[in-house]
Structure 1
Amino acid sequence: MTAARHSTRSLRWLILGGVVAVLTSVALLPDVRAFLITAFGALTSRDPSVTRAFVDSLGWAGPLALVAGFVLQAVLPVLPAVVLIAVTTRAYGPYEGFLLVYVGTMLGAAAGYGLGRVLGDTLIRTLVGERTRVKVHEFVERHGIQGVLMIRLMPVLSADVMNLVAGAARMEFRPFMLATAAGALPVTALVVWLSESGERLLWGMIILSAVVATVAAGRALIRRRRAGRSLG
Protein backbone atom coordinates (compact mmCIF):
# COMPACT_ATOMS: atom_id res chain seq x y z
CA MET A 1 0.00 0.00 0.00
CA THR A 2 2.78 2.42 0.98
CA ALA A 3 4.83 1.55 -2.11
CA ALA A 4 1.80 2.04 -4.38
CA ARG A 5 1.02 5.39 -2.76
CA HIS A 6 4.64 6.50 -3.14
CA SER A 7 4.62 5.42 -6.80
CA THR A 8 1.40 7.36 -7.47
CA ARG A 9 2.78 10.47 -5.78
CA SER A 10 6.00 10.24 -7.80
CA LEU A 11 4.03 9.85 -11.03
CA ARG A 12 1.90 12.88 -10.16
CA TRP A 13 4.96 15.05 -9.59
CA LEU A 14 6.54 13.66 -12.76
CA ILE A 15 3.48 14.65 -14.83
CA LEU A 16 3.25 18.11 -13.30
CA GLY A 17 6.99 18.61 -13.66
CA GLY A 18 6.81 17.56 -17.30
CA VAL A 19 3.98 20.01 -17.99
CA VAL A 20 5.86 22.85 -16.30
CA ALA A 21 9.04 21.95 -18.22
CA VAL A 22 7.22 21.96 -21.57
CA LEU A 23 5.48 25.28 -20.84
CA THR A 24 8.76 26.83 -19.70
CA SER A 25 10.59 25.59 -22.80
CA VAL A 26 7.91 27.02 -25.07
CA ALA A 27 7.94 30.34 -23.21
CA LEU A 28 11.72 30.62 -23.72
CA LEU A 29 11.41 30.57 -27.51
CA PRO A 30 12.29 34.07 -28.80
CA ASP A 31 9.02 34.66 -30.69
CA VAL A 32 6.88 33.29 -27.87
CA ARG A 33 8.77 35.28 -25.25
CA ALA A 34 8.38 38.50 -27.26
CA PHE A 35 4.65 37.85 -27.64
CA LEU A 36 4.21 37.13 -23.91
CA ILE A 37 6.04 40.33 -22.98
CA THR A 38 3.87 42.34 -25.37
CA ALA A 39 0.70 40.65 -24.09
CA PHE A 40 1.61 41.25 -20.46
CA GLY A 41 2.30 44.93 -21.11
CA ALA A 42 -0.96 45.39 -23.02
CA LEU A 43 -3.15 43.52 -20.54
CA THR A 44 -1.72 45.37 -17.54
CA SER A 45 -1.70 48.81 -19.19
CA ARG A 46 -3.68 51.56 -17.47
CA ASP A 47 -4.73 52.83 -20.90
CA PRO A 48 -7.79 50.83 -22.10
CA SER A 49 -7.04 51.73 -25.72
CA VAL A 50 -3.69 49.89 -25.52
CA THR A 51 -5.40 46.76 -24.21
CA ARG A 52 -8.16 46.99 -26.81
CA ALA A 53 -5.70 47.46 -29.68
CA PHE A 54 -3.78 44.36 -28.63
CA VAL A 55 -6.97 42.31 -28.31
CA ASP A 56 -8.23 43.46 -31.70
CA SER A 57 -4.92 42.46 -33.28
CA LEU A 58 -5.48 38.86 -32.15
CA GLY A 59 -8.75 38.53 -34.08
CA TRP A 60 -10.59 35.25 -33.60
CA ALA A 61 -7.49 33.57 -32.16
CA GLY A 62 -7.78 35.51 -28.88
CA PRO A 63 -11.18 34.20 -27.71
CA LEU A 64 -10.36 30.72 -29.01
CA ALA A 65 -7.09 30.62 -27.06
CA LEU A 66 -8.79 31.74 -23.85
CA VAL A 67 -11.57 29.14 -24.15
CA ALA A 68 -8.93 26.48 -24.85
CA GLY A 69 -7.08 27.72 -21.75
CA PHE A 70 -10.17 27.16 -19.58
CA VAL A 71 -10.59 23.65 -20.97
CA LEU A 72 -6.91 22.83 -20.33
CA GLN A 73 -7.09 24.30 -16.84
CA ALA A 74 -10.14 22.17 -16.02
CA VAL A 75 -8.44 18.96 -17.17
CA LEU A 76 -4.94 19.72 -15.87
CA PRO A 77 -5.08 22.57 -13.35
CA VAL A 78 -1.73 24.35 -13.64
CA LEU A 79 -2.87 27.98 -13.74
CA PRO A 80 -5.59 29.09 -11.28
CA ALA A 81 -8.94 29.74 -12.99
CA VAL A 82 -9.19 33.15 -11.28
CA VAL A 83 -6.09 34.30 -13.18
CA LEU A 84 -7.65 33.28 -16.50
CA ILE A 85 -10.91 35.03 -15.57
CA ALA A 86 -9.07 38.24 -14.67
CA VAL A 87 -7.11 38.16 -17.95
CA THR A 88 -10.27 37.49 -19.97
CA THR A 89 -12.21 40.28 -18.29
CA ARG A 90 -9.34 42.70 -18.69
CA ALA A 91 -9.02 41.87 -22.38
CA TYR A 92 -12.66 41.69 -23.45
CA GLY A 93 -14.61 43.62 -20.84
CA PRO A 94 -17.36 42.37 -18.51
CA TYR A 95 -19.91 41.26 -21.12
CA GLU A 96 -17.78 39.49 -23.73
CA GLY A 97 -15.50 38.33 -20.92
CA PHE A 98 -18.43 36.78 -19.05
CA LEU A 99 -19.52 34.88 -22.17
CA LEU A 100 -16.01 33.57 -22.85
CA VAL A 101 -15.49 32.54 -19.22
CA TYR A 102 -18.87 30.81 -19.00
CA VAL A 103 -18.42 28.92 -22.29
CA GLY A 104 -14.89 27.94 -21.29
CA THR A 105 -16.10 26.76 -17.88
CA MET A 106 -18.84 24.59 -19.38
CA LEU A 107 -16.55 23.07 -22.01
CA GLY A 108 -13.92 22.46 -19.35
CA ALA A 109 -16.46 20.70 -17.12
CA ALA A 110 -17.54 18.48 -20.01
CA ALA A 111 -13.91 17.68 -20.86
CA GLY A 112 -13.09 16.85 -17.24
CA TYR A 113 -16.17 14.65 -16.95
CA GLY A 114 -15.29 12.80 -20.15
CA LEU A 115 -11.69 12.30 -19.06
CA GLY A 116 -12.83 10.96 -15.69
CA ARG A 117 -15.27 8.60 -17.39
CA VAL A 118 -12.63 7.21 -19.76
CA LEU A 119 -9.63 6.97 -17.46
CA GLY A 120 -11.48 6.66 -14.15
CA ASP A 121 -9.95 6.69 -10.70
CA THR A 122 -6.40 5.99 -11.88
CA LEU A 123 -6.06 9.47 -13.37
CA ILE A 124 -7.74 11.13 -10.38
CA ARG A 125 -5.48 9.31 -7.95
CA THR A 126 -2.44 10.37 -9.98
CA LEU A 127 -3.45 14.04 -10.17
CA VAL A 128 -4.77 14.71 -6.66
CA GLY A 129 -3.80 11.72 -4.53
CA GLU A 130 -5.75 8.87 -2.96
CA ARG A 131 -6.97 10.79 0.09
CA THR A 132 -8.54 13.60 -1.94
CA ARG A 133 -9.99 11.10 -4.41
CA VAL A 134 -11.73 9.16 -1.63
CA LYS A 135 -13.11 12.31 0.01
CA VAL A 136 -14.54 13.72 -3.20
CA HIS A 137 -15.88 10.30 -4.23
CA GLU A 138 -17.71 10.00 -0.91
CA PHE A 139 -19.06 13.53 -1.30
CA VAL A 140 -20.41 12.74 -4.79
CA GLU A 141 -22.02 9.50 -3.64
CA ARG A 142 -23.63 11.20 -0.64
CA HIS A 143 -24.89 14.40 -2.27
CA GLY A 144 -25.06 13.62 -6.01
CA ILE A 145 -26.21 16.47 -8.24
CA GLN A 146 -26.79 18.73 -5.24
CA GLY A 147 -23.13 18.25 -4.35
CA VAL A 148 -22.05 19.39 -7.83
CA LEU A 149 -24.23 22.49 -7.49
CA MET A 150 -22.89 23.18 -4.00
CA ILE A 151 -19.25 22.97 -5.09
CA ARG A 152 -19.92 25.21 -8.08
CA LEU A 153 -21.55 27.83 -5.85
CA MET A 154 -18.49 27.97 -3.58
CA PRO A 155 -15.79 29.75 -5.61
CA VAL A 156 -13.11 29.25 -2.95
CA LEU A 157 -13.24 25.54 -3.82
CA SER A 158 -11.96 24.03 -7.05
CA ALA A 159 -14.54 22.13 -9.12
CA ASP A 160 -11.89 20.52 -11.35
CA VAL A 161 -11.60 17.36 -9.25
CA MET A 162 -15.41 17.20 -9.00
CA ASN A 163 -15.64 17.07 -12.81
CA LEU A 164 -13.24 14.12 -12.98
CA VAL A 165 -14.89 12.23 -10.11
CA ALA A 166 -18.39 12.78 -11.51
CA GLY A 167 -17.26 11.09 -14.70
CA ALA A 168 -15.46 8.28 -12.88
CA ALA A 169 -18.53 7.69 -10.67
CA ARG A 170 -20.70 7.37 -13.80
CA MET A 171 -22.96 10.25 -12.78
CA GLU A 172 -25.49 10.98 -15.53
CA PHE A 173 -24.04 13.56 -17.92
CA ARG A 174 -27.12 15.71 -18.48
CA PRO A 175 -27.94 16.34 -14.78
CA PHE A 176 -24.25 16.95 -14.13
CA MET A 177 -24.05 19.62 -16.84
CA LEU A 178 -27.33 21.23 -15.74
CA ALA A 179 -26.07 21.50 -12.14
CA THR A 180 -22.74 22.84 -13.43
CA ALA A 181 -24.49 25.43 -15.60
CA ALA A 182 -26.75 26.56 -12.75
CA GLY A 183 -23.89 26.87 -10.28
CA ALA A 184 -21.34 28.41 -12.64
CA LEU A 185 -23.68 31.16 -13.85
CA PRO A 186 -23.88 33.35 -10.70
CA VAL A 187 -20.30 32.59 -9.67
CA THR A 188 -18.93 33.56 -13.09
CA ALA A 189 -20.93 36.79 -13.01
CA LEU A 190 -19.63 37.60 -9.52
CA VAL A 191 -15.99 36.85 -10.30
CA VAL A 192 -16.07 38.78 -13.59
CA TRP A 193 -17.71 41.74 -11.85
CA LEU A 194 -15.16 41.82 -9.02
CA SER A 195 -12.06 40.71 -10.93
CA GLU A 196 -10.60 44.22 -11.36
CA SER A 197 -10.04 44.48 -7.60
CA GLY A 198 -8.13 41.65 -5.99
CA GLU A 199 -9.33 42.55 -2.50
CA ARG A 200 -13.00 42.80 -3.52
CA LEU A 201 -12.71 39.54 -5.45
CA LEU A 202 -11.25 37.71 -2.47
CA TRP A 203 -13.92 38.98 -0.08
CA GLY A 204 -16.70 38.30 -2.59
CA MET A 205 -15.56 34.70 -3.03
CA ILE A 206 -15.24 34.19 0.73
CA ILE A 207 -18.66 35.70 1.50
CA LEU A 208 -20.50 33.74 -1.21
CA SER A 209 -18.80 30.50 -0.18
CA ALA A 210 -19.62 31.14 3.48
CA VAL A 211 -23.29 31.81 2.67
CA VAL A 212 -23.58 28.61 0.61
CA ALA A 213 -21.80 26.58 3.30
CA THR A 214 -24.09 28.02 5.99
CA VAL A 215 -27.22 27.20 3.99
CA ALA A 216 -25.96 23.68 3.28
CA ALA A 217 -25.11 23.12 6.97
CA GLY A 218 -28.53 24.46 8.00
CA ARG A 219 -30.32 22.11 5.62
CA ALA A 220 -28.26 19.16 6.88
CA LEU A 221 -29.11 20.06 10.48
CA ILE A 222 -32.82 20.30 9.69
CA ARG A 223 -32.78 16.90 7.95
CA ARG A 224 -30.95 15.37 10.90
CA ARG A 225 -33.49 16.71 13.36
CA ARG A 226 -36.39 15.49 11.26
CA ALA A 227 -34.80 12.06 11.03
CA GLY A 228 -34.32 12.05 14.82
CA ARG A 229 -37.96 12.96 15.39
CA SER A 230 -39.20 10.25 13.02
CA LEU A 231 -37.06 7.66 14.83
CA GLY A 232 -38.31 8.96 18.18
Structure 2
Amino acid sequence: MTAARQPSRSLRWLILGAALALVIGVGLLPDVRAFLVTAFAALTSRDPAVTRAFVDGLGWAGPLALIAGFVLQAVLPVLPALVLTAVTARAYGPYEGFLIVYLGTLLGAAAGYWLGRALGNALIRTLVGERTRLKVHEFTERHGTQGVLMIRLMPILSADVMNLVAGAARMKFRPFMLATAAGALPVTALVVWLSESGERLLWGMVILSAVVAGVAAGRALIRRRRAARGLG
Protein backbone atom coordinates (compact mmCIF):
# COMPACT_ATOMS: atom_id res chain seq x y z
CA MET A 1 0.00 0.00 0.00
CA THR A 2 2.81 2.41 0.89
CA ALA A 3 4.75 1.43 -2.23
CA ALA A 4 1.69 2.11 -4.36
CA ARG A 5 1.12 5.52 -2.82
CA GLN A 6 4.72 6.67 -3.22
CA PRO A 7 4.83 6.55 -7.07
CA SER A 8 1.43 8.23 -7.18
CA ARG A 9 2.64 11.05 -4.93
CA SER A 10 5.85 11.43 -6.95
CA LEU A 11 3.89 11.50 -10.20
CA ARG A 12 1.55 14.15 -8.78
CA TRP A 13 4.45 16.43 -7.92
CA LEU A 14 6.03 15.70 -11.31
CA ILE A 15 2.88 16.79 -13.14
CA LEU A 16 2.43 19.93 -11.05
CA GLY A 17 6.14 20.75 -11.38
CA ALA A 18 6.03 20.30 -15.15
CA ALA A 19 2.94 22.54 -15.40
CA LEU A 20 4.60 25.21 -13.24
CA ALA A 21 7.83 24.99 -15.26
CA LEU A 22 5.83 25.39 -18.47
CA VAL A 23 4.07 28.49 -17.13
CA ILE A 24 7.35 30.01 -15.92
CA GLY A 25 9.13 29.11 -19.16
CA VAL A 26 6.47 30.73 -21.30
CA GLY A 27 6.46 33.78 -19.03
CA LEU A 28 10.22 34.23 -19.55
CA LEU A 29 9.82 34.71 -23.30
CA PRO A 30 10.46 38.40 -24.06
CA ASP A 31 7.26 38.97 -26.07
CA VAL A 32 5.12 37.12 -23.55
CA ARG A 33 6.73 38.94 -20.62
CA ALA A 34 6.18 42.32 -22.28
CA PHE A 35 2.54 41.46 -22.94
CA LEU A 36 1.99 40.32 -19.34
CA VAL A 37 3.52 43.53 -17.97
CA THR A 38 1.27 45.60 -20.23
CA ALA A 39 -1.78 43.51 -19.34
CA PHE A 40 -1.11 43.80 -15.61
CA ALA A 41 -0.69 47.56 -15.84
CA ALA A 42 -3.89 47.94 -17.88
CA LEU A 43 -6.03 45.63 -15.74
CA THR A 44 -4.92 47.22 -12.48
CA SER A 45 -5.17 50.80 -13.72
CA ARG A 46 -7.56 53.09 -11.86
CA ASP A 47 -8.56 54.65 -15.16
CA PRO A 48 -11.35 52.54 -16.75
CA ALA A 49 -10.48 53.97 -20.16
CA VAL A 50 -7.01 52.38 -20.00
CA THR A 51 -8.47 48.99 -19.14
CA ARG A 52 -11.13 49.28 -21.82
CA ALA A 53 -8.61 50.26 -24.50
CA PHE A 54 -6.45 47.24 -23.69
CA VAL A 55 -9.43 44.88 -23.75
CA ASP A 56 -10.73 46.30 -27.03
CA GLY A 57 -7.30 45.73 -28.54
CA LEU A 58 -7.53 42.02 -27.77
CA GLY A 59 -10.71 41.62 -29.82
CA TRP A 60 -12.31 38.18 -29.85
CA ALA A 61 -9.09 36.54 -28.60
CA GLY A 62 -9.54 37.96 -25.09
CA PRO A 63 -12.75 36.13 -24.12
CA LEU A 64 -11.59 32.93 -25.81
CA ALA A 65 -8.29 33.01 -23.91
CA LEU A 66 -10.09 33.52 -20.60
CA ILE A 67 -12.58 30.70 -21.31
CA ALA A 68 -9.66 28.42 -22.22
CA GLY A 69 -8.02 29.46 -18.95
CA PHE A 70 -11.09 28.40 -16.95
CA VAL A 71 -11.16 25.04 -18.74
CA LEU A 72 -7.45 24.48 -18.10
CA GLN A 73 -7.83 25.53 -14.47
CA ALA A 74 -10.68 23.04 -13.95
CA VAL A 75 -8.61 20.17 -15.37
CA LEU A 76 -5.22 21.15 -13.93
CA PRO A 77 -5.68 23.77 -11.17
CA VAL A 78 -2.49 25.86 -11.36
CA LEU A 79 -4.00 29.35 -11.12
CA PRO A 80 -6.86 29.87 -8.63
CA ALA A 81 -10.25 30.34 -10.32
CA LEU A 82 -10.89 33.46 -8.20
CA VAL A 83 -7.91 35.17 -9.82
CA LEU A 84 -9.26 34.45 -13.30
CA THR A 85 -12.70 35.63 -12.21
CA ALA A 86 -11.34 38.90 -10.83
CA VAL A 87 -9.32 39.52 -13.99
CA THR A 88 -12.34 38.78 -16.18
CA ALA A 89 -14.65 41.04 -14.20
CA ARG A 90 -12.08 43.82 -14.21
CA ALA A 91 -11.51 43.55 -17.95
CA TYR A 92 -15.04 43.04 -19.23
CA GLY A 93 -17.29 44.43 -16.54
CA PRO A 94 -20.07 42.68 -14.60
CA TYR A 95 -22.26 41.59 -17.52
CA GLU A 96 -19.80 40.41 -20.16
CA GLY A 97 -17.55 39.17 -17.38
CA PHE A 98 -20.36 37.10 -15.90
CA LEU A 99 -21.05 35.43 -19.26
CA ILE A 100 -17.37 34.63 -19.80
CA VAL A 101 -16.88 33.24 -16.28
CA TYR A 102 -20.12 31.25 -16.34
CA LEU A 103 -19.42 29.72 -19.76
CA GLY A 104 -15.84 28.94 -18.78
CA THR A 105 -17.04 27.30 -15.55
CA LEU A 106 -19.52 25.07 -17.38
CA LEU A 107 -17.03 24.06 -20.07
CA GLY A 108 -14.40 23.41 -17.40
CA ALA A 109 -16.81 21.21 -15.45
CA ALA A 110 -17.64 19.23 -18.58
CA ALA A 111 -13.95 18.83 -19.42
CA GLY A 112 -13.17 17.64 -15.89
CA TYR A 113 -16.10 15.21 -15.96
CA TRP A 114 -15.06 13.56 -19.22
CA LEU A 115 -11.40 13.50 -18.21
CA GLY A 116 -12.35 11.73 -14.99
CA ARG A 117 -14.56 9.33 -16.92
CA ALA A 118 -11.83 8.54 -19.44
CA LEU A 119 -8.88 8.16 -17.08
CA GLY A 120 -10.75 7.09 -13.95
CA ASN A 121 -9.47 7.10 -10.39
CA ALA A 122 -5.80 6.83 -11.34
CA LEU A 123 -5.68 10.45 -12.49
CA ILE A 124 -7.59 11.70 -9.43
CA ARG A 125 -5.33 9.77 -7.10
CA THR A 126 -2.30 11.24 -8.88
CA LEU A 127 -3.54 14.84 -8.68
CA VAL A 128 -5.04 15.01 -5.18
CA GLY A 129 -4.03 11.83 -3.38
CA GLU A 130 -5.91 8.74 -2.28
CA ARG A 131 -7.37 10.20 0.93
CA THR A 132 -9.00 13.17 -0.82
CA ARG A 133 -10.21 10.95 -3.63
CA LEU A 134 -11.93 8.59 -1.21
CA LYS A 135 -13.60 11.42 0.71
CA VAL A 136 -14.98 13.10 -2.42
CA HIS A 137 -16.00 9.77 -3.93
CA GLU A 138 -17.89 8.81 -0.78
CA PHE A 139 -19.58 12.22 -0.73
CA THR A 140 -20.57 11.83 -4.39
CA GLU A 141 -21.94 8.33 -3.89
CA ARG A 142 -23.98 9.40 -0.87
CA HIS A 143 -25.44 12.68 -2.15
CA GLY A 144 -25.34 12.36 -5.96
CA THR A 145 -26.36 15.46 -7.92
CA GLN A 146 -27.50 17.15 -4.69
CA GLY A 147 -23.90 16.91 -3.55
CA VAL A 148 -22.70 18.52 -6.78
CA LEU A 149 -25.20 21.34 -6.28
CA MET A 150 -24.15 21.76 -2.64
CA ILE A 151 -20.45 22.00 -3.51
CA ARG A 152 -21.16 24.49 -6.29
CA LEU A 153 -23.19 26.68 -3.93
CA MET A 154 -20.29 26.86 -1.46
CA PRO A 155 -17.68 29.08 -3.15
CA ILE A 156 -15.08 28.56 -0.43
CA LEU A 157 -14.80 24.95 -1.65
CA SER A 158 -13.18 23.86 -4.90
CA ALA A 159 -15.37 21.86 -7.28
CA ASP A 160 -12.49 20.75 -9.51
CA VAL A 161 -12.03 17.39 -7.80
CA MET A 162 -15.82 16.90 -7.76
CA ASN A 163 -15.88 17.19 -11.56
CA LEU A 164 -13.26 14.46 -11.95
CA VAL A 165 -14.84 12.17 -9.37
CA ALA A 166 -18.32 12.57 -10.88
CA GLY A 167 -16.93 11.34 -14.19
CA ALA A 168 -14.96 8.50 -12.61
CA ALA A 169 -18.04 7.44 -10.61
CA ARG A 170 -20.08 7.30 -13.85
CA MET A 171 -22.62 9.85 -12.67
CA LYS A 172 -25.03 10.66 -15.49
CA PHE A 173 -23.71 13.62 -17.45
CA ARG A 174 -26.97 15.54 -17.92
CA PRO A 175 -27.97 15.65 -14.21
CA PHE A 176 -24.37 16.52 -13.34
CA MET A 177 -24.33 19.47 -15.73
CA LEU A 178 -27.78 20.66 -14.64
CA ALA A 179 -26.69 20.66 -10.99
CA THR A 180 -23.44 22.39 -11.96
CA ALA A 181 -25.26 25.05 -13.97
CA ALA A 182 -27.81 25.69 -11.20
CA GLY A 183 -25.16 25.97 -8.49
CA ALA A 184 -22.65 27.99 -10.50
CA LEU A 185 -25.21 30.60 -11.61
CA PRO A 186 -25.72 32.49 -8.30
CA VAL A 187 -22.13 31.94 -7.17
CA THR A 188 -20.70 33.34 -10.41
CA ALA A 189 -22.97 36.38 -10.14
CA LEU A 190 -21.90 36.94 -6.53
CA VAL A 191 -18.18 36.55 -7.17
CA VAL A 192 -18.20 38.78 -10.27
CA TRP A 193 -20.22 41.42 -8.43
CA LEU A 194 -17.94 41.47 -5.37
CA SER A 195 -14.62 40.84 -7.13
CA GLU A 196 -13.52 44.50 -7.02
CA SER A 197 -13.24 44.37 -3.23
CA GLY A 198 -11.24 41.51 -1.73
CA GLU A 199 -12.77 42.02 1.71
CA ARG A 200 -16.35 42.07 0.42
CA LEU A 201 -15.64 39.04 -1.76
CA LEU A 202 -14.26 37.06 1.18
CA TRP A 203 -17.25 37.92 3.40
CA GLY A 204 -19.72 37.15 0.61
CA MET A 205 -18.16 33.74 -0.02
CA VAL A 206 -18.05 32.88 3.67
CA ILE A 207 -21.65 33.99 4.32
CA LEU A 208 -23.08 32.12 1.30
CA SER A 209 -21.11 28.98 2.14
CA ALA A 210 -22.25 29.16 5.79
CA VAL A 211 -25.90 29.56 4.75
CA VAL A 212 -25.72 26.57 2.38
CA ALA A 213 -23.94 24.46 5.01
CA GLY A 214 -26.55 25.45 7.61
CA VAL A 215 -29.43 24.51 5.31
CA ALA A 216 -27.79 21.18 4.48
CA ALA A 217 -27.16 20.45 8.18
CA GLY A 218 -30.76 21.39 9.03
CA ARG A 219 -32.14 19.06 6.35
CA ALA A 220 -29.92 16.23 7.57
CA LEU A 221 -31.10 16.79 11.16
CA ILE A 222 -34.77 16.74 10.08
CA ARG A 223 -34.24 13.49 8.16
CA ARG A 224 -32.58 11.88 11.17
CA ARG A 225 -35.44 12.90 13.47
CA ARG A 226 -38.02 11.56 11.04
CA ALA A 227 -36.09 8.32 10.73
CA ALA A 228 -35.88 8.05 14.53
CA ARG A 229 -39.63 8.61 14.85
CA GLY A 230 -40.28 6.00 12.20
CA LEU A 231 -38.19 3.47 14.06
CA GLY A 232 -39.95 4.39 17.30
Match of 1:113 in 2: 113
TM-superposition CA deviations, 1:68-117 (whole Å, max 9, x none): 00000000001110000000000000000000000000000000000000
Match of 1:184 in 2: 184
Any idea what SS the aligned residue of 1:215 has? helix
User: Which runs of no fewer than 5 residues in structure 2 stay unpaired?
Assistant: none
Match of 1:42 in 2: 42
Moved over 6 A (4+): none
Match of 1:225 in 2: 225
Q: What does 1:33-112 align with in structure 2 at a 5 Å threshold?
A: 33-112=33-112
Letter in 2 for 1:34: A
Match of 1:143 in 2: 143
Any idea what SS the aligned residue of 1:157 has? coil
Letter in 2 for 1:215: V
Any idea what SS the aligned residue of 2:156 has? coil
1:24 positional shift: 0.4
Match of 1:134 in 2: 134
1:6 positional shift: 1.3
1:7 positional shift: 1.1
Distance 1:180 1:22 in 2: 30
1:164 positional shift: 0.3
Distance 2:146 2:17 in 1: 35
Any idea what SS the aligned residue of 1:154 has? coil
Q: TM-score, normalised by structure 1?
A: 1.00
Bigger shift: residues 79-88 or 2-11: 2-11
Distance 2:118 2:8 in 1: 19
TM-superposition CA deviations, 1:185-228 (whole Å, max 9, x none): 00000000000000000000000000000000000000011111
Match of 2:194 in 1: 194
Any idea what SS the aligned residue of 2:147 has? helix
Distance 1:44 1:9 in 2: 38
1:43 positional shift: 0.3
Distance 1:108 1:158 in 2: 13
1:15 positional shift: 0.4
Distance 1:25 1:107 in 2: 27
TM-superposition CA deviations, 1:91-150 (whole Å, max 9, x none): 000000000000000000000000000000000000000000000000000000100000
Match of 1:28 in 2: 28
Distance 2:184 2:22 in 1: 31
Distance 1:168 1:36 in 2: 37
| Residue identity (%) | 85
1:3 positional shift: 1.2
Letter in 1 for 2:57: S
Distance 1:4 1:50 in 2: 53
Distance 1:77 1:133 in 2: 16
Any idea what SS the aligned residue of 2:88 has? helix
Letter in 2 for 1:118: A
TM-superposition CA deviations, 1:162-194 (whole Å, max 9, x none): 000000000000000000000000000000000
User: Which runs of no fewer than 5 residues in structure 1 stay unpaired?
Assistant: none
Letter in 2 for 1:183: G
Any idea what SS the aligned residue of 2:196 has? coil
1:49 positional shift: 0.3
Letter in 1 for 2:215: V
Distance 1:206 1:33 in 2: 35
